[in-house]
Amino acid sequence: MKPVVEMIFWIACFVCTATPIETARILAIIAIPSYSHHIAYQLLWTTLSRRGHKIVVLTTDPINDPSLTNLTEINFKSNYNVVTKINFIENMETHTWLSTVNEQLWPVCNQITENIYKHPEVRKMYELNSDTKFDVVIVETIKSPSLYALAYRFNAPLIGVSTLGLYNSNYYLLGAPVLPSHPSAWEMGDTTDFNLSLWQRIKNFIRLWYHIYCTLNHFYSEQQAIAEKYLGKNIPDIRDMERNISFVFQNQQKVLSFVRPQTSNVLSFGNFQISKKLAALPENLTEFITDAPNGFIYMSLGTNVRISSLSKHVQSIFRDVFASLPYKILWKHDSELPNKPDNIYIAKWFPQQSILAHPNIKLFIYQGGIQSTEEAVYYTVPLLGLPVLADQYTQVKKMVSLGVAKHLNIMKLSRENLNESIIDILYDEGYKKRMLKVKELNEDKPYDVLEHVIWWIEFVIRHKGASHLRTSIAYDPCLFLRLVPLSERLLFIIKTTLPGDYQKAIEKDIFSSSSALLCFLSFLHETRVSRGVIVFVPDNVFYPPPFPRSFLPRFTKGDSL
């Protein structure tokens, strides 16, 4: 009898240690309808649920795995109908990314967040007579701040997540530096670099700070109104909710991004979408790429860009160059391709990781998405980047700086530059060798990234937040300047640093208001032009300055900002 009792004792000990001491209820909301915004978190949700946590996920791309009994998914796939109204290819000729955000994405995101709030299953959770409780609320920080208010409704700590780098408006609210001209400022498109002219830095500074002002005073106000419509007028300001956020996890691995200063409650993750078990390729596709003596090239511009939205001229450039190459081509294409050459295989969808893992692949032509970048690095495939929107310009620029990619402007594409770029990469073994080194650096970490993220999520649950990691700078109404009348010194600095052609325009426009003067003084501080000059600003001057609408066009001097 004794051995049986002893066996039962040890089994009980094992069960007690294998089961989490405390399980939690987690609400996760990923609002943006884009596959890449959801695939990056699916491993996180499944792992948390298998650890015993009960998770409710609001998503446009559900996992639909019945074995995950602790995971409840509310499907918002219909929100794809809202975002498909935007033609990102057309916007490349008519909009900067900031103007796309202001004019097109803000209204779309307002509609998306309202669709979430008014969904019957969501309303059941937050209505006043509901007894639904959550221990933590996880919300995507990309253009859906009204959803932060659900953390207030459930009296739960708030965690932010982002599948790309944070906007500078997020950094501003968190108390981190705002860097208008640093390459990490991906919302600035292709106007950032390390060696910009002073005039370009001034333009970047004004454009970004004006955008931050509009974001916090217009878009956040609209999002606040949406939250108040469904949760009542007594909720706090969502800007303060973002300042009080416990953690933000962003998909920005150090090796693959432009490193920038950030606060202690911003942590990086990545590679969560990398499959341990690759999907099988269709038989006809396997035959096509296996029977490729010189290998094959894979082209995909992701899920947000339709090849059919490219002009017929640009499509013909790709077709003609591909036809002239001694390689097989896999081309993700959403429509029929007239006069398709025999060496091209088109499909509306490919199992991308299975393609990138194939030993015959030689090159990946892509749009610069972060998940595609991570997969290319993981499978060590050289890149040719054709960025179209959002952070893609910055991501491609980073890969070029690592020596594993080349960059082309899809709006200035020609048969000559496309063919030359492809040939350069294929015949230079250095691209592959450097990619192998990048993979080695990216995977050499002192801990498992997934376990690290989960540990911090559970830390927030255990301690009801992580306020000790927030910086007081986030609550400082004046970031770093104190102002006294130093116009003479400032004018002297301008006259000794700016080209003469711009001096009168600068003096006239920048000094037309004290807020604009503050703007330029802070720019000088950022670029260290004002080193040695003591600058003071009264405590009642707030940041960002309230730029008048006429300020930007007057300041451009005929050159678009």
Q: What is the pLDDT of residues 39-73, one digit of tens each?
A: 999 999 999 999 999 999 999 999 999 999 999 99
Distances (CA, A) of 26 to 41, 53, 129, 143: 14, 7, 20, 21
* 53 touches 24 (CB < 8 A): yes
Query: What is the architecture of the domain spanning 283-443?
Result: 3-Layer(aba) Sandwich (3.40)
pLDDT digits over 158-216, tens only? Answer: 999 999 999 999 999 999 999 999 999 999 998 998 888 888 888 888 899 889 989 99
The pLDDT assigned to 519 comes to 52
Q: Is the pLDDT of residue 529 over 50?
A: no
The pLDDT assigned to 420 comes to 97
Residue type, 257: S
Scanning 105-155, the segments in alpha helix (DSSP H) are 106-117, 120-126, 149-153
Percent of the chain beyond pLDDT 70? 81
The better pLDDT of the pair 545, 369 is held by 369
Residue 6: band (very low, low, confident or very high) from pLDDT cuts 50, 70, 90: low
Report the 10 Å Cβ neighbour count for 522: 22
The pLDDT assigned to 249 comes to 97
Residue 141 contacts by C-beta under 8 Å, 6 or more apart in sequence?
Answer: 160, 161, 162, 166, 167, 170, 242, 248
Q: Is the pLDDT of residue 8 over 90?
A: no
Task: Please state the φ and ψ torsions of residue 138, each to the nearest 5 degrees.
Answer: -110, 120
Percent of the chain beyond pLDDT 90? 70
Burial classification of residue 82, based on how many CB atoms lie within 10 Å of its CB (0-12 exposed, 13-18 middle, 19 or more buried): middle
Residue 167 contacts by C-beta under 8 Å, 6 or more apart in sequence?
Answer: 141, 142, 187, 215
Residue 437 contacts by C-beta under 8 Å, 6 or more apart in sequence?
Answer: none
How far apart, in whole angstroms, are the C-alpha atoms of residue 45 and residue 54? Answer: 10
The pLDDT assigned to 477 comes to 57
Residue 531: band (very low, low, confident or very high) from pLDDT cuts 50, 70, 90: very low
Write down how long the chain is: 561
* 162 touches 251 (CB < 8 A): yes
Average pLDDT over residues 223-234: 96
pLDDT digits over 330-378, tens only? Answer: 999 998 888 899 999 999 999 999 999 999 999 999 999 999 999 999 9
pLDDT digits over 105-152, tens only? Answer: 999 999 999 999 999 999 999 998 999 999 999 999 999 999 999 999
pLDDT digits over 508-521, tens only? Answer: 444 443 444 455 44
**Parallel, antiparallel, or unpaired for β 383-385 and 405-407?**
parallel
pLDDT digits over 410-446, tens only? Answer: 999 999 999 999 999 999 999 999 999 999 999 999 9
How far apart, in whole angstroms, are the C-alpha atoms of residue 42 and residue 269? Answer: 13
How far apart, in whole angstroms, are the C-alpha atoms of residue 492 and residue 507? Answer: 11
pLDDT digits over 376-405, tens only? Answer: 999 999 999 999 999 999 999 999 999 999
Average pLDDT over residues 460-472: 93
Q: Is the pLDDT of residue 274 over 80?
A: yes
**Which residue from 542, 548, 385, 437 is spatially nearest to 479, judged by alpha carbons?**
542
The pLDDT assigned to 297 comes to 98
Average pLDDT over residues 451-467: 96
How far apart, in whole angstroms, are the C-alpha atoms of residue 145 and residue 178? Answer: 19
* 383 touches 405 (CB < 8 A): yes
How far apart, in whole angstroms, are the C-alpha atoms of residue 511 and residue 16? Answer: 69
Residue 11: band (very low, low, confident or very high) from pLDDT cuts 50, 70, 90: low
Residue 525: band (very low, low, confident or very high) from pLDDT cuts 50, 70, 90: very low
Average pLDDT over residues 279-284: 93
Query: What is the architecture of the domain spanning 25-269?
Result: 3-Layer(aba) Sandwich (3.40)
Residue type, 184: S
Could you give the 3-state DSSP secondary structure of residue 74?
strand
How far apart, in whole angstroms, are the C-alpha atoms of residue 211 and residue 223? Answer: 16
Q: Which residues pair with 137 in a beta bridge?
A: 27, 158
The better pLDDT of the pair 4, 27 is held by 27
pLDDT digits over 485-494, tens only? Answer: 333 344 445 4
- 235-254 b/e with 16+ CB inside 10 Å = b? beebbebbbbbbbbbbbbbe
Q: Is the pLDDT of residue 480 over 60?
A: no
Average pLDDT over residues 266-281: 94
Q: Is the pLDDT of residue 4 over 70?
A: no
